[in-house]
Chain A
Amino acid sequence: MNVILSIAKTTIGEAIRRRVLLIILLIGVLFLVIAPGLSVLSARSSYTVLVSFTLGVIQLTSAVIAIVLTVYLLPNEVERRTIYTILSKPVYRWQFLLGKYLGAVGALGLMMALMTGILVLVFKIMQAEAGMDVVMTLARAPMMYFVQMSLLAAVAMFFSTFASPIVNFFLTGGVYLVGTLFSPVFQDIAGNNSVNAMVKTAATVIHTLVPNFAQFNVQNTIINSGSQLRSEQMYYLQLVAYAFAYVAVFLIGGMMIFDRKEV
């Protein structure tokens, strides 16, 4: 466990210093800070616009960071040959991979925490009359985005055990898109009686196999006050459990491939 944590810690330290990630983060933060200026344009529903825009910025920025960060983790190690010194130590490959993944998630968490902090700050300043509880409600969406991005990072990690960074970038991005898109498509198919059973079965299988990224987009109930969730805690718990299981699938797959890979 120490080994994994050491690798994770080092990975975080490196990731939060990577210039490309910091630039992406900076752009995200910039948008968060100027967001209130944008919503001034909208006399009506300025609050709604501000919330949806800022949450969207956090989500988009996090997704880009998650992918860019993770796709380079393994290739960089090989390129710098640091992987050889590490693997010549009593370190199993799965430990290395897990450490790298946890490091990625940790770095992502730090960056997302920063953005969420700025979000809270912006709302504290802009909506002075809104209570702290209202502002804290906002922070729930980034929490779920974090779970979502952890899953995305696991996908990227999996692909990085056999694909080059550029290929991986598109593969992971593709999985994210399909994982987000397929959910509404599936609902359409599942709810449509004119679709034949074969197609429905196929859709159900795909829906089960492709990670459902859409369900992590909890911003809607937060943006719009009339929350209809039967049990928010249950829903969030389920999402976390779902992500956990899926992350395990991708990491185990990645470990199996990485274990036999010639680096």
Chain B
Amino acid sequence: MNLAIETKKLTKTYKTSSGMQSVVKDLDLEVEKGEIFGFLGPNGAGKTTTIKILLGIIDGTSGEANVLGRPAGDIESHKRLSYLPEKPYYYEHMTGLEITQFYASLFGIKDKDLCVNLLNRVNLGNDYNRPISQYSKGMQQRVGLAQSLLNDPELLFLDEPTGGLDPIAHIEIRDLILKFRDEGRTVFISSHELSDVERICDRVAIINKGEMVHQGRLDDLLSGGRIEVTADGVAENLVDKFKGDDMTLSLRAGRLIADLPDTMSPNEMIDAIRTGGGSVVSVIPRRKRLEDLFLESVSGDNLAKGRVTGKMTDDDKKADVKEEEVSS
């Protein structure tokens, strides 16, 4: 058994005014030990709900959830995992060190040096005697990380770890997470945006509206890029010859712009163009990006495949609100 997290047909249903609503639907997750796992999806997709189920804060309606080989919520497994919630707040009257010591005491740890070391590790060495109320968001997030390392966890749940942080903080956190993997920890990152952090994931799962859309190795998921071929002086009949479902061809005033999947070799087309007297202007491979995959997954077919760039936004505010409603 090499899985840190495993769910089978995990479902969470809430009663709402408009009837039963599934926030998580038949979710099958598999997170292997020692990997960085990205749990991606727009706001309201059911990410936080899933994490809460995995931590035993709420119960699933049906299905199975195992964490570290035990049923979700098991106190024994809590000794071996840790959780950094989205936008955590702490008791503001306490200093960074005090809050860390408080969390340590929940594990029965009284080692002050450990706390100081961890705070040093997250670059709070100069600030841990100041009250939390004076901390920036990034510093609070780092306190959160420090406390999440207290028990030397095998498994870390990071819920939106970069939310609201500046790019420098992003990089700091990314580096920390990479170190975690080097130390042999499993890191479960949930996110609705695609920052540098998510790009370091070994594997990702993308969920939308509570349902799994994709799960797999990032490399595998990102295969299936496109190749763009541009040529001048191309004859009309060429277009008819290559017309197919999986490609886009546009010919105007002898200039052809063809977009074909990378599973198809462009050589045939290039040969045909050359044979027909045309000249190839450019052949540009466009590798699939995580953003594209993400958009593809959550937006259905409305958006052009592989063309629209840019990251996911918080457009789907409605969904955001909905999640807040059902989970709090």
Using a CB–CB cutoff of 8 Å, the interface residues on chain A facing chain B are 2-3, 6-7, 10, 13-14, 17, 78, 80-82, 84-92, 262-263
Closest 8 CB pairs of A and B: A88-B83, A6-B105, A80-B89, A89-B106, A262-B58, A90-B78, A84-B85, A81-B85
In Å, the complex CA distance between A17 and B98 comes to 16
User: What count of chain B residues pass the 8 Å CB interface test?
Assistant: 34
State whether A88 touches B78 (Cβ < 8 A). yes
Q: Which of A7, A13, A88 contacts B55 (CB 8 A)?
A: A88
Sample of 25 A–B contacts (CB below 8 Å): A3-B105, A6-B102, A6-B106, A10-B102, A13-B93, A80-B89, A81-B86, A81-B87, A81-B88, A84-B52, A84-B57, A84-B83, A85-B83, A85-B84, A85-B103, A87-B56, A88-B81, A90-B76, A90-B79, A90-B106, A90-B107, A91-B75, A262-B59, A263-B57, A263-B58
State whether B105 touches A82 (Cβ < 8 A). no
Verify if B328 is at the interface (C-beta below 8 Å from A): yes
> Could you tell me which residues of chain B, from 53 to 81, have a CB within 8 Å of some CB in chain A?
55-59, 75-76, 78-79, 81
Query: Known contacts A13-B93, A14-B91, A263-B58: does B106 contact A86 (CB below 8 Å)?
Result: yes
Question: With a CB–CB cut-off of 8 A, which chain B residues contact A90?
Answer: 75-76, 78-79, 106-107
In Å, the complex CA distance between A6 and B102 comes to 7
State whether B94 touches A13 (Cβ < 8 A). yes
> Could you tell me which residues of chain B, from 272 to 300, have a CB within 8 Å of some CB in chain A?
none
Verify if B90 is at the interface (C-beta below 8 Å from A): yes
Q: Which of B76, B91, B108 contacts A2 (CB 8 A)?
A: B108
Verify if B157 is at the interface (C-beta below 8 Å from A): yes
In Å, the complex CA distance between A91 and B73 comes to 10
Verify if B82 is at the interface (C-beta below 8 Å from A): yes
In Å, the complex CA distance between A10 and B55 comes to 23
In Å, the complex CA distance between A85 and B76 comes to 16
In Å, the complex CA distance between A89 and B94 comes to 19
Complex: chain A residue closest to B151, CB-CB: A89
State whether B57 touches A87 (Cβ < 8 A). yes
Q: A6-B105, A81-B86, A84-B85 are in contact. List 19 more A-B contacts (CB 8 A).
A: A2-B105, A6-B106, A10-B91, A10-B94, A10-B102, A13-B94, A14-B91, A78-B328, A81-B89, A84-B57, A89-B106, A89-B151, A90-B76, A90-B78, A90-B107, A91-B106, A92-B75, A262-B58, A263-B57
Complex: chain A residue closest to B74, CB-CB: A90
In Å, the complex CA distance between A22 and B146 comes to 32
State whether A82 touches B90 (Cβ < 8 A). yes
Question: With a CB–CB cut-off of 8 A, which chain A residues contact B328?
Answer: 78
Complex: chain B residue closest to A88, CB-CB: B83
In Å, the complex CA distance between A92 and B75 comes to 7
Query: Using an 8 Å CB-CB cutoff, how does the interface string of B185-202 with A read, 1 for contact, 0 for none?
Result: 000000000000000000
Distance in Å: Cβ of A3 to nearest Cβ of chain B: 6
In Å, the complex CA distance between A248 and B37 comes to 44
In Å, the complex CA distance between A91 and B108 comes to 10
Most buried by B among A84, A88, A91: A88
In Å, the complex CA distance between A17 and B107 comes to 26
Most buried by B among A3, A84, A86, A92: A84
Complex: chain B residue closest to A9, CB-CB: B102
State whether B157 touches A88 (Cβ < 8 A). yes
Most buried by A among B55, B56, B105: B105
Question: With a CB–CB cut-off of 8 A, which chain A residues contact B141?
Answer: none
State whether B91 touches A82 (Cβ < 8 A). yes
Verify if B11 is at the interface (C-beta below 8 Å from A): no
Question: With a CB–CB cut-off of 8 A, which chain B residues contact A7?
Answer: 106
State whether A13 touches B91 (Cβ < 8 A). yes
Query: Known contacts A6-B105, A6-B106: does B57 contact A88 (CB below 8 Å)?
Result: yes
State whether B82 touches A88 (Cβ < 8 A). yes
In Å, the complex CA distance between A87 and B102 comes to 13
Distance in Å: Cβ of A129 to nearest Cβ of chain B: 43
In Å, the complex CA distance between A84 and B84 comes to 9
Distance in Å: Cβ of A5 to nearest Cβ of chain B: 8
Query: Known contacts A262-B58, A262-B59: does B107 contact A89 (CB below 8 Å)?
Result: yes
In Å, the complex CA distance between A7 and B75 comes to 17
Distance in Å: Cβ of B46 to nearest Cβ of chain A: 14
Verify if B230 is at the interface (C-beta below 8 Å from A): no
